[in-house]
Structures are given as C-alpha cells and as structure tokens.
A and B are shown apart, each in its own frame.
Chain A
Amino acid sequence: MVEKKEYKEWPPFAPGTHLHDSDIKEKKVNYTWWEPEVQYSWSLGPAMSKFLQGLKNGIIYGIHCKRCKRVLVPPRSFCEYCYGPTEEWVELKDTGTIETFSISYIDADARRIEEPILIGVISIDGASPQHGFMHYFGEMSKDEIKIGMKVKAVWKSENEREGSITDIKYFKPLKGGAE
C-alpha cells in the first residue's frame, strides 16, 4: 500500500545507487556485456544519389525549389517548407562563406586529441543565403578562422574520389581572386 507522505521538501531524498568506474572495472557489480552486430544499407534516394555522383566528378549540386525561390544544398527531392517536389538541378561553385565553426579537441567518441579539428558550416556560393553543409577546414590556424571568411573546397584527386562528402578534403581560405 502506498500512503501519502507529507515531507516538507520535495524530493525528500534521492533513491538510487551510484556506480563508480572502479566498480565496473573491478567487477564489484554484476553486469552483462553486449556488442551489437547490426549493419545497415541506407537507400540514397534520387537526390542524394545525384549529389554524391556530382561530388565524384568534382561538382557540388544544388536543387531549385521554384515556389520558395530557394536553391537548396544539400539537394533534396522535396522542399520541406512548401512541401512540393523540387525541380531543376543547379551546378554550384565550390566556394563559400564560413557561417559558424568550432575548434575541437575531442573526437567522435569524446576522446582527447592533440591537434584540434576545425569544423563548421559553409554556405555555398550559388545556393540561397545561409544554405550549405558541414565540413572540415584546413590550411588555416585556429587563430585565423573567422565567421564570414571566404573559403574554397580542396578536392581529393579524381581517382581517389568515391562519391562521398569526403571527396572534398576540407575548405581552405580563398585568398584574393579565383585560383
């Protein structure tokens, strides 16, 4: 039976047992270890398929939504705001502007790394303002990187490209005019 408790302060106490890392390492508590073996094969869909093919050929594609008057990148089969199908592929430039960035000293598993990774969002020239994707930055130091900096993609060599976002190695500062 649960009876009403009239404590003055809520929560009155904190039920639960703290487990320290050492409890696990020294097997002071009982546990079961499990390594999942799940694999995936995701369908790309027509839009991503063409985008990745474009990257393999050294081209960044965007797509036009006529109703919203937006050129979208990354391209998609339908516009998520007006909810209609997108039309016409647009070849975009491989230059852009840094919208935001971070200087990371941790990797994907939260492990510490010595040399920081420069990562951020680049809005691509030729697409609508503030439309772009996330990628690495290179050939610049953590003191040089700035929001608003103009950058250019550095591509892998043609035979190294495999149709992936990593066909672009990183974006470097765009100095002066075109290279």
Chain B
Amino acid sequence: MTYGEKQTDPTAPMHWRGDMQADYMYPSGIAGDKFFNHLKEKDTFLATKCKTCNKVLFPPRLYCEDCFNEIPESDWIEVPASGSVKNFTVAALNAHGEKLQEPKVIAMIDIDNTDGALLGIIKTNDYEKDFSGLKVKANLRPKGKREGTLKDILYWE
C-alpha cells in the first residue's frame, strides 16, 4: 500500500533532477522593430499617438489596447530619451537571490511627452537618496555599437 507505507529507507531515491533545454528568439514585432531600428540611429525614442483616446502610448504599438483602433504610420512621433522617476526600489539581491556586490536602483521612469513609462537602472553612488520625481536622461551605447535591444540603454542618470 504505497500511501500507507512509511518511507524508512534513507537510500531510497526521493527526487529526480532536470532542467529546461530550449532557447528563445523573440522577434520584436512590427512596432518593436521600428522602435529599436530608430534607437540604433538616433538618440530619441519613438511613441505612438492614439487620437481617439488622446493618449501618447509608450512603448509604441500598432494598436491602442483601450479603444482597439489601429494606429497609422502618420501617428508615430519622436520623443526625447528622458523622463522622471515615478517610483523606484533599491535591490540588494540578484535574480537568483544572491547578494549583489553593489545595490541596484531600479526605477519606473515616466517618459517625457508620453503617457507611458519604462523600467530602467539608475546610476548613482547614493543609495539612501529619494529618487521620486528625479529628472533623468538615458545614457545610450555609442552609435555604431548599438545592437537594437533594450540593453542599448546602459543606464539612466
């Protein structure tokens, strides 16, 4: 009777180990492709304006998820790669729960001239500071070395 049996043998196997063996290629999509290709060449961001909702959507997308209208090419606009800190946290551990050598300040940054925000890392030496509302600019990888991914934004300051 397996449920009734007591497990008294300390050498009995208890676990089976394994891992996930797939890798992933995520295409950025039609909107994402445009955004990152622009970022490769320029020091500004692209956003999309939904005229029905009167909102500037960031990150830019093909359609507005609220009114579900398609956003035409003509409603893509350029916005500065700067913003203000909406909220933030100071992380002491990394993604695996190990202690970081230096704490990391992770912030939600409201992007200027848009109704959207982006997650970013703030470069600082002062981890006790209150970053709320702080005006920040994106520090981008040098042109020519940009890969067209979010990592082209090295940090914010």
- A113 close to chain B: CB less than 8 A: no
With A40-B18, A77-B3, A86-B2 in contact, do A30 and B13 touch (Cβ < 8 Å)?
no
Partner of B1, one of A33, A36, A39, A85: A85
Asked whether any CB of chain A lies closer than 8 Å to the CB of B124, the reply is: no
In the bound complex, CA of A41 to CA of B33 (Å): 38
Query: Is B148's CB under 8 angstroms from A30's CB?
Result: yes
Interfacial chain A residues near B7, Cβ < 8 Å = 46, 49
Given contacts A41-B16, A85-B2, A85-B3, contact A30 B36 (CB under 8 A): yes
Within 8 A of A (CB), among B78-102: none
> Interface range on chain B: under 10, 10 to 19, 20 to 34, or 35 or more?
20 to 34
Measured CB to CB, the closest approach of chain A to B35, in angstroms, equals 8
Binds A, one of B20-28, B42-50, B135-143: B20-28
Q: Pick the contact of B27 from A31, A75, A76, A77 — CB < 8 Å?
A: A31
Once the chains bind, are A31 and B2 in contact (CB under 8 Å)? no
> Cβ of A46 and Cβ of B25 under 8 Å apart?
no
Contact A52 B18 (CB under 8 A): no
Is residue A178 within 8 Å, beta carbon to beta carbon, of the partner chain?
A: no
Asked if A36 contacts B20 (CB within 8 A), the reply is: yes
Q: Are B26 and A34 in contact (CB under 8 A)?
A: yes
Given A30-B36, A46-B7, A53-B13, is A24 in contact with B2 using a C-beta cutoff of 8 Å? no
Give chain A's interface residue range (CB within 8 Å of chain B): 35 or more
Note all chain A residues with C-beta closer than 8 A to B22: 36
Q: With CB as the reference atom, state the residue of chain B lying closest to A17.
A: B30
Q: Does B129 contact A (CB under 8 A)?
A: no
Q: Collect the chain B residues with CB atoms within 8 Å of residue A52's CB.
A: 13
Minimum C-beta distance from B76 to chain A (A): 16
In the complex, whether A47 has a CB less than 8 A from a CB of chain B is yes
B3, A36: Cβ atoms closer than 8 Å:
no
Q: Besides the contacts A33-B25, A77-B3, A88-B1, what 16 more A-B pairs have beta carbons closer than 8 Å?
A: A19-B27, A29-B27, A29-B28, A31-B28, A32-B150, A35-B24, A36-B20, A42-B16, A43-B14, A44-B13, A46-B3, A47-B2, A53-B12, A85-B2, A87-B1, A163-B13
